[in-house]
Homo-oligomer: A and B are copies of this chain.
Amino acid sequence: MAIIKTEIRSGVYYDSAKLMSLQRSLAGLPGILDAGVVMGTDSNKELLEHIDLLSPEVQSAKPDDLVIVVKSEDDKAADEAMAQVDGLLAARKSDMDEAYMPRSLETAAQMLPDASWVIISVAGRYAAGVTREALRLGRHVHLFSDNVSVEDEIALKLEARERGLLVMGPDCGTAMIGGVGLAFANKIRLGPIGVVAAAGTGLQQVACRIHQLGSGMTYGIGTGGRDLSEKVGALTFLMALDALDRDPDTKVIVVTSKPPSPKVAEEVLKRARKAGKPVVVNFIARAITTLQEDNLYFATGLDDAARLAVELAKDPPKVDGDAGLKLERFKPEQKYFRGLFSGGTLAYEAQHILAGYVPRVWANAPINKEYKMANSMESQEHSIVDLGEDEFTVGRLHPMMDNELRIRRLYEEAKDPQVAVIMLDVVIGYGSHPDPASEIAPAIAKCIAEAKKDGRHLEVVCVVTGTDEDPQNFDSQVKQLVDAGAFVDGSNEVVVRYAGRILRGLAERGAPAEAVVGKAVDLATLKKPLQVINVGLESFAADMKAQETPVVHVDWKPPAGGKENLMAILERMKQRS
């Protein structure tokens, strides 16, 4: 019968590569059936139990105890294995030149003064301290370590923002800076696409697809998976997005994230909308309602995000913002939309699209019952009335056949001083009025003229649904409406989005300018050739060398031998100094 031997060591620190290597060495010794070398956390105990390596001694281990377990055929083999532990731990299997290994981050920073970045992969409980040190030395941090508390994350990121530095992480698996990969990172060619990702393998997957599609990247900036949680509030994400917006080499930005807080996702989109370049958006598991909204391109997944970015980067569309809307023509009190529809589906689609631009749209046939108009006869705020609804058509011709009711309503809405945009659909074809524009266009012209007398600019927008072969003729209808002063298109979506942009612009017109918080990232620190200080897993330093990137690896040990209370005292002393 197999026997299990256990050893618990307190107050020691080895990085996880070392632990794994010890475990493998022990498991490979003669007579040993299995071995486990882990820190004594609850989940590690569960893991040991699951693979039949749990012993009563293990149960008593504390989270910062090192637990060594061997399972063997007999006592002798187990004892012999345990006797080798110290020798195995002492063995150094490093490719790194000892001469390059300072003991402190401070010394490393002096050795490599041009290193803008510190990669940190020490055990989670020490990671916040090391990060704070790196920030105080004025370096960006790639914080690979996980098991860092969200409170520490927030504090570190706030401190970083004050200094204009990025904290990518914690639990940030990957980053790509100027063609060089940090930590887990693929070899991606340089190119016009920049990616910000609260999603480690998400960033890797998008990057690999971009490379496979023949394009390349400027930067891939990870933020850690929690950055878009409500607590952290996109602290790193927004700084990174801002940097990529300002970077002239980045022609297209991709933002992706593990499932984000909806509220924080909105903040990210708000900033992305102000970018002067196309932004491809993929929030994992968030359904999309449109493929495009101004400079935002919504992807349904990681593949789709890469595909879109590569296509856009070939010939990036110009982003012109609100300039074409001439919002200065509207009076300050003008802000509302009134849709007077004859087509129910067009009215539904308009509600759905407008919901992306304004907080709520009332309707007599609402998508969301909460927004049912109190009275179909009287518009409120933003309203969409479907005049083809049953309530309007008992013993009365459909509004596509008879324009009278709609024109009466148009005059009413146009008089409302708070109205900025009125939308009408003009659906032609067999069955419909023989020449609707001949009645509607003069009414529009009159409304615009009367608003003008009152000092208001009234924007009337029309979708014409029809074809060149319809009896009324599409072009003739469009011409009459355009001549009357309306914005006209054959696409309901195009017209509603045009209206939406005006409404959003008018709503933001009154909003106070946002206070600048913290300091922006200095682009020069991203642009200069990468040099790195590495604290934690040695293999990350080796990977830097393989990419011909200057690196100094810190032969790091926990301060005060890893004792938590001593560490706290040390930290306080440093803060005072």
Which listed residue, B290, B348, B428, touches A258 by the CB 8 Å rule?
B348
Determine, out of A236-244, A280-288, A524-532, the stretch whose residues face the partner at the interface. Answer: A280-288
Give chain B residues whose Cβ lies under 8 Å from the Cβ of A466: 186, 208
Proximity string of chain A (507-536) to chain B, C-beta cutoff 8 Å, 1 when within and 0 when not: 000000000000000000000000000000
Tally of A interface residues using CB under 8 Å: 112
A284 and B345 contact, CB distance less than 8 A: yes
Q: Is the interface of A mostly helix, strand, loop or mixed?
A: mixed
Top 7 nearest A-B pairs (CB, nearest first) are: A201-B343, A287-B287, A39-B395, A202-B345, A186-B429, A187-B469, A199-B345
Q: Within the complex, what minimum Cβ distance (angstroms) separates A529 from chain B?
A: 17
* A349/B397 contact (C-beta < 8 A), A204-B429, A540-B431 known: no
Give chain B residues whose Cβ lies under 8 Å from the Cβ of A267: none
| CB closest chain-B residue, reference A17 | B397
Chain A positions 458-474 with a Cβ under 8 Å from a chain B Cβ: 465-467, 469-471, 474
Add 6 more A-B contacts to A184-B432, A285-B352, A304-B493 (CB < 8 A): A20-B396, A38-B395, A146-B390, A173-B431, A184-B430, A185-B431
20 contacts between A and B (CB under 8 A): A19-B395, A39-B396, A41-B395, A66-B395, A147-B393, A173-B388, A181-B430, A184-B430, A186-B428, A186-B470, A187-B470, A201-B345, A202-B346, A202-B349, A225-B344, A259-B367, A284-B345, A288-B289, A302-B492, A431-B539
Is A114 in the interface zone, CB < 8 Å from B?
A: no
Is A105 in the interface zone, CB < 8 Å from B?
A: no
Chain A positions 424-441 with a Cβ under 8 Å from a chain B Cβ: 425, 427-432
A290 and B284 contact, CB distance less than 8 A: no
Determine, out of A43-51, A227-235, A446-454, A564-572, the stretch whose residues face the partner at the interface. Answer: A43-51
CA distance A522 to B90 in the complex (A): 84
CA distance A186 to B472 in the complex (A): 10
B396 and A19 contact, CB distance less than 8 A: yes
A208 and B352 contact, CB distance less than 8 A: no
Q: Within the complex, what minimum Cβ distance (angstroms) separates A439 from chain B?
A: 12
CA distance A256 to B205 in the complex (A): 33
Proximity string of chain A (174-207) to chain B, C-beta cutoff 8 Å, 1 when within and 0 when not: 1000000101111111000000010111111100
Which listed residue, B181, B199, B467, B540, touches A429 by the CB 8 Å rule?
B181
| CB closest chain-B residue, reference A342 | B201
* A205/B44 contact (C-beta < 8 A), A284-B349, A393-B147 known: no
Is A301 in the interface zone, CB < 8 Å from B?
A: yes
Is A16 in the interface zone, CB < 8 Å from B?
A: yes
Which listed residue, B47, B189, B430, touches A392 by the CB 8 Å rule?
B47
B392 and A427 contact, CB distance less than 8 A: no
